[in-house]
Amino acid sequence: MPAPNEPALVQFVKDTKRGYCQHFAGAMALMLRYLGIPARVAAGFTSGSYDADSHEWTVTDHEAHDWVEVYFPRWGWIPFDPTPGRGTLDARYSSTSPLFSGEQFIDNVGPEGRRSAAVNELSAQEANRPGLENSGIGNSRGGGAVVGAVRDKGPSIVVLAFFVIAAAALVIVGLKTVRRTLRFAGRDPRELAGACRRDLMAYLADQGLEVPPSATLLELGQIVDRYFGVDAGPFVRAATIARFGRPDEANVELVRARRELRRVRRDMRNRINVTSRVRGALSLRSLAV
């Protein structure tokens, strides 16, 4: 009896040994990858039936199928159909095809990577099948149109992905800059002292430190000293007076508090590596502070 909550593929390999094409294809691809052999599961349809009178192929949902493609250097991706009794892929070199020959396979797809006359003949036959002209089947490189498309479009996709990621990063940094600017938009020294406290909390949050919302200035200073080795004492004293001191002292101490805040942030930034800086710059945690 399979163990509860056990993945279906694990149950198939260990216990049942019975399943659909997804199970057989997934198991084969997983085993090949464990051996260091590039493999992938392909999903699509088998050939269906060909009507010679109408010159049309009929493919229904009954032809839906999963199989495995294995990568051979200098050959590309070669299909294999591990599902018993279902080896109906067009490629006759599938290991479950009735015409499959192990000796011919070794001869044709050997370590030398050379192509024999038998495989050339097979490719020509497949390329000229009715309805499959110019489909890419039988391409001498084994990759066909799909590999060519990936080769041709790959660089542009990478560039597009880079620009998308860069744009997202700029949006995040822009939002955080606007949030910080608005935080210090007031004029009341006591409110601005509170903004200094929230700004330091936001920086610590972006570095992955869990700071309770009720943390006092003194507790924040202790966190900075414990995790970054930076003395935040002058900032704590100035911000405390600006927040709770006499009105005639608040403005003077606020200027000192903001200066010390910049110094504390700079010193913390100098104590961490580039990866932590980038991760902190792109973190969204500070937006919730």
Which of residues 85 and 24 earns the better pLDDT score?
A: 24
What pLDDT is attached to residue 122? 46
At 144, the pLDDT band (50, 70, 90 cuts) reads very low
Comparing 154 with 235, the larger pLDDT belongs to 235
Domain identity same for 23 and 119: yes
**Which DSSP letter does residue 2 get?**
P
| Same domain assignment for residues 90 and 110 | yes
Whose CA is closest to 158, among 169, 147, 168, 150? Answer: 150
Q: What's the whole-number mean pLDDT along residues 235-245?
A: 93
pLDDT at site 51: 83
169 with 261, same domain: the answer is: no
Confidence band for 186, pLDDT divided at 50, 70 and 90 = confident
φ, ψ of residue 89 to 5 degrees: the values are -65, 155
pLDDT surpassing 60 at residue 225: yes
pLDDT band at 134 (very low <50, low <70, confident <90, very high): very low
- Do 104 and 127 have their domain in common? yes
CA angle 249, 253, 259 (to 5 degrees): 165
Residue 3 lies in a domain: no
| CA gap 35, 103 in Å, rounded | 22
CB distance 200 to 183 below 8 Å:
no
Does residue 86 have a pLDDT over 60? no
pLDDT score of 193 more than 90: yes
Per cent of the chain over pLDDT 90 is: 38
Question: CB–CB of 239/257 below 8 Å?
Answer: yes
112 pLDDT tier (thresholds 50, 70, 90): very low
Q: Is 231:242 a contact under the CB 8 Å cutoff?
A: no
Cβ atoms of 217 and 236 within 8 Å: the answer is yes
Q: Which domain holds residue 196?
A: 184-288
Q: Is the model more confident about 96 or about 235?
A: 235
Distance of CA 167 to the CA centre of its chain: 17
154 with 261, same domain?
no
d(CA 103, CA 85): 22
| Pair of tokens at residue 212 | 């309770």
Mean pLDDT of 156-181: 89
Which range, of 26-40, 51-65, 177-191, 263-277, averages the lowest pLDDT? 51-65
Query: What is the rounded average pLDDT of the residues 147-153?
Result: 51
Residue with tokens 């597009």: 160
Task: Say what the pLDDT of residue 135 is.
Answer: 40
Is 264 contained in some domain? Answer: yes
Q: Region 148-173: what's the mean pLDDT?
A: 77
116 and 218 belong to one structural domain: no
The Cα 95–Cα 105 span in angstroms is: 9
In a domain, 129, yes or no: yes
CA distance linking residue 279 with residue 197, whole number of Å? 22
Task: Give the mean model confidence (pLDDT) for residues 230-238.
Answer: 95
Report residue 248's pLDDT band, with 50, 70 and 90 as the boundaries.
confident
CA distance 265 to 275: 16
Under a CB-based contact definition with an 8 Å cutoff, are residues 250 and 176 in contact? no
1 in any annotated domain: no
Q: Clarify whether residues 151 and 102 are in a common domain.
A: no
- pLDDT at 94 > cutoff 60: no
Tally of domains in the chain: 3
Q: How far apart are CA 75 and CA 61, in angstroms?
A: 31
pLDDT score at 261: 96
Judge if 147 and 244 occupy the same domain: no
